Amino acid sequence: MYEIVIEQQTKKYLKKLPQEIRHRINNAISSLSNLPRPSGSVKLKGSNYYRIRISDYRIIYEIKDNKLIFLVIFIGHRKDVYRNIK
C-alpha cells in the first residue's frame, strides 16, 4: 500500500470544488493508494507524471515505487490542468 501525499496548493484547490466532484476525486485518490496504475491511467509524455480522469477533472500524480509514495501534484479542470504542470 502506498502512502498518499497531497501538495498544499492542491488541497486548497480541492476544497473549492463542488462537494460531488470533491467526493469522487477523494475516492479515486484513495483507490490509487492500493493500485497506483489502474486501467485508464496514462503516463504523460516527457515527464514522470501520470494522470487519471474524473469527469472533466484530471488528477496528476507521481509514483515513487522505491519509497512507496504516491504524490498528488495537481488536480484541475481539463482545460487548465496541463498548463500548470512544470
The CATH number of whichever domain residue 62 belongs to comes to 3.30.2310.20
Tell me the percentage of the chain whose pLDDT exceeds 90: 41
pTM (two decimals)? 0.85
Residue-level pLDDT at 82:
76
Which residues have C-beta within 8 Å of that of residue 47, sequence separation ≥ 6? 85
Range of the domain at 76: 3-84
Structurally, the chain folds into a number of domains equal to 1
- Smallest CA-to-CA distance from 74 within 10, 3, 12, 29 is with 10
pLDDT digits (tens, 9 = 90+) for 23-60: 999 999 999 888 888 888 999 988 889 999 998 999 99
